[in-house]
Chain A
């Protein structure tokens, strides 16, 4: 008897403690709503302009004057940076952090997406010739001037020399030849590409390295350069041109950046920016911890997903942060069918002959497309925080073909298209093809990605309305990649790519018929010369022409055409693009979120105003 009383007492104590710890979360009864583009707030970013003060060519911020000082704390999920050397960075976070420290010659206008001068004062493009005029009198963080020598050294010795991550070099090789770079005088540099090549201008946004610091490292060879300016390097060794430079790096905890006293952006009173003294990146392991840290006040900024958005929106009313809708993400989600009609080494078809007939049939692909209920997925899977997608270019892309209109689910159209190709239904509604084969196939996605798994379930339901039998199989990410890239024994898959809103040429690995990610009709090494499908040839043509044209209008024509082909042929059926949502504390001012730049693109202009 006494024991029972003790147990009850103990439980009561624990319940009491637990109750006092937990404050009820704010209930949220709002239904998710479909947000469209109009909901996105476009702030009127005043931009920056060139001014010359005492012979020095500064960039002048046109934003409101602010107070100096303070710290901005943000975070990154995962292991943190692998290197602070901008030329070695292979992952997102390493590039982000090195881009804070090293500016490129040009940058992207966050409103229009045009290429505008940054470290360069101005540039002129004339066919294959790019003349870059540098700013007079601006300095590295150690006080040495930034000159044409630095630019020539960076491009000729580091990038064209193949040091570090060679992806920049690989992407400017045109017909096997590299562009040339030449110093005209101390503040003028000339680049010449072997052929007109439009994406080159944007490539000039690659960071510029201080020659007097990097030269000894380059002389010691590529192996040494791979470990140069790693995360173990003493922060004092960094000489930078960007708004901030590394001050302290503590593995698995944080990276702290301090302001560069010689930065070349000034405010309207000609005071040197940035306003903030410090940026801190906390390195956190997962999204949940990130959310807790933001709620605990340790973070100033966070990007939000799914259910958290509704909760933060509710909390926003009585807290010190604001939730921003930054517009569509650059990520795309799609369904692909395996249109491969080739045989493997053993003479066996990658895709059984029967299934090939379905997947290579345009009517079949269109029928699948019309059967898919994108709006429903946006509602139920993305909590309304996404937009249906019909084109390979993302919705914020400056190359988006706006003539390709969205359309709703239309089962009747699907049925019609299938009938046209000779498919028929038996009494129970099961779908058969012309040769009396039951239409049954596997649908894959990577297990663990709850979003794609949810899409898979809905796609399966939608397609079963057409009488198809879909076996939905989420498999482990790495084995799926192996299927898609090497063994090629798959039928249908749900995957996603990240794209660029500025440069469609980045997608050439997907769309060129011999591309490494030509996922819907992957050609392995031995098949590179196999015959192309009609629309593949057209896509090849558009991508080659699009890269060679330099005028935006000409390029737009080619890339519009490529989007129209994909819209019609449906090699990839696009589903939706998520909308990016971020929360930021109110004390930060000069915030001008844009779809292309995010929330903190103008980090040097952001200042703190406490209430």
Chain B
């Protein structure tokens, strides 16, 4: 019951936050000197009438505050509006969201399944050669910029011919059988997943190792060891549960990054996800599309934090009793 009340309170708190976020983003986009019609204006074959019609259609002839009001009204009603080309924003997003989710979920799954155990092993074998090699590798993984790594892998794909150069499906995808389709998508996913996995794995492994080392140094672990409990039990029953808290917060952020975290890599690999769509929208100042993606990002971040906090309440009795 208490938890439910807490959740309700948190959800109510997000409403003013979203209003402020939307106001700031809307005004910044509209006040920037980007003119959505600049391209048309410089085209000798576009007539004055067409320009006027476009200005009216996009509502650019009205004050910003009126434009914002119009947008907010339809947003509250659940209507995301239309893009500057007249397509529905919701359809545009729905086309891309599954692709992005496919990529990010695979990456998150892999990096957690591999990263947590690696972190534990490294912490337990602290200062052994194994730990040191891992430290070097993860440092490289954290230091290398994602776009640069992506470009390197793309060149690798071109030179060897082993992997497709970006994209998600081959051009004859529609004619394939189910298993061929599966293999085709896997083939296309390997490189982008490698890039994102390397980065995310490195961070996660370092985090897990650090936390566990902290905890292993504490008095109660020493006490448990002194009691003669087996090392396995000491780590998994006593140390690990206490070391996992920061990771839950991290999980909340990973949730927030589900839709937007891979944008740069998506762009380099020409992956048909949200990243490319939104970048192009920002460049054209396609207000409804940009606003929709910004709001989506804000909601995901808030939701991710909320989920992390709830998980923390469940796992950590100290927080539970404190609230």
- Interface residues of chain A, those whose CB is within 8 Å of chain B, are 2-3, 6-7, 10, 14, 18, 21-23, 71, 73, 78-79, 82-83, 165-167, 170-171, 226-227, 230-232, 247-248, 250-254, 256, 280, 282, 284-285, 289, 292-293, 295-298, 476-479, 481-482, 484-485, 495, 497-499, 506-507, 509-510, 516-517
Contacts and interface: CB of A to CB of B under 8 A. Distances in A.
B133 A6 contact: yes
Contacts of B38: 477-478, 481-482
B111 interface: no
Contacts of A485: 41
Given A21-B152, A171-B47, A79 B171 contact: no
Contacts of A296: 157-158, 161, 164-165
B42 interface: yes
Contact of B270 (A247, A285, A495): A285
A605 to B, nearest CB: 22
B20 interface: no
A170 B158 contact: no
B33 A478 contact: yes
A510 B44 contact: yes
10 A-B pairs with least C-beta separation: A252-B272, A296-B165, A481-B38, A479-B33, A478-B35, A82-B85, A170-B47, A10-B136, A296-B158, A478-B38
A167 B46 contact: yes
Interface of A is mostly: mixed
A133 to B, nearest CB: 29
Interface in B215-231: none
Contact of A516 (B48, B157, B158, B166): B48
Contact of A253 (B46, B87, B169): B169
Given A256-B174, A509-B45, A250 B272 contact: yes
B281 to A, nearest CB: 9
Contacts of B86: 82, 226-227
B166 A289 contact: yes
A498 B174 CA distance: 37
B137 interface: yes
A293 B165 contact: yes
Contact of A298 (B48, B160, B165): B165
Given A6-B136, A71-B171, A285-B267, A509 B44 contact: yes
A7 B44 CA distance: 61
Contact of A497 (B35, B44, B158, B165): B44
A218 B234 CA distance: 76
Interface string B29-53: 0000111001001111111111101
Contacts of B95: 251-252
A602 B159 CA distance: 33
Interface in B76-111: 85-87, 91-92, 95-96
Given A252-B96, A507-B44, A516-B47, A481 B35 contact: yes
Given A254-B171, A292-B154, A478-B35, A170 B280 contact: no
A74 to B, nearest CB: 11
Nearest to B284: A79
A166 B49 contact: yes
B174 A248 contact: yes
A292 B158 contact: yes
B27 interface: no
B49 A170 contact: yes
Nearest to A223: B86
B156 interface: yes
Contacts of A478: 33-35, 38, 285
Given A22-B155, A292-B154, 13 more contacts: A6-B132, A78-B280, A231-B87, A252-B95, A256-B171, A256-B174, A285-B267, A285-B270, A289-B166, A292-B166, A293-B165, A497-B44, A509-B44
25 contacts: A3-B132, A6-B132, A10-B136, A21-B155, A22-B155, A71-B171, A71-B172, A73-B171, A167-B47, A171-B45, A226-B86, A247-B174, A248-B174, A251-B92, A251-B272, A252-B95, A252-B272, A282-B171, A285-B270, A297-B161, A479-B33, A481-B42, A482-B35, A495-B42, A499-B44
Nearest to B132: A6
Contact of A170 (B50, B169, B174): B50
B204 to A, nearest CB: 20
Interface string B106-120: 000000000000000
Contact of B87 (A230, A479, A498, A506): A230
Nearest to B44: A509
B167 interface: yes
Nearest to A10: B136
B14 to A, nearest CB: 31
B238 interface: no
Contacts of A253: 167-169, 272
B69 to A, nearest CB: 23
B44 A506 contact: yes
Given A481-B41, A517-B42, A282 B50 contact: no
Contacts of A284: 166, 270
A290 to B, nearest CB: 9
A315 to B, nearest CB: 12
Which among A6, A289, A482, A499 has the greatest number of chain B C-beta atoms within 10 A?
A289
B198 to A, nearest CB: 12
B35 A22 contact: no
B276 interface: yes
A280 B273 CA distance: 20
B129 interface: yes
Interface in B137-187: 137, 140, 152, 154-161, 164-169, 171-174
B277 interface: yes
Contact of B167 (A10, A23, A282): A282
A402 to B, nearest CB: 23
B213 to A, nearest CB: 17
Contacts of B173: 250
Contacts of B167: 253, 282
B87 A82 contact: yes
A482 B169 CA distance: 41
Contacts of A250: 169, 173, 272
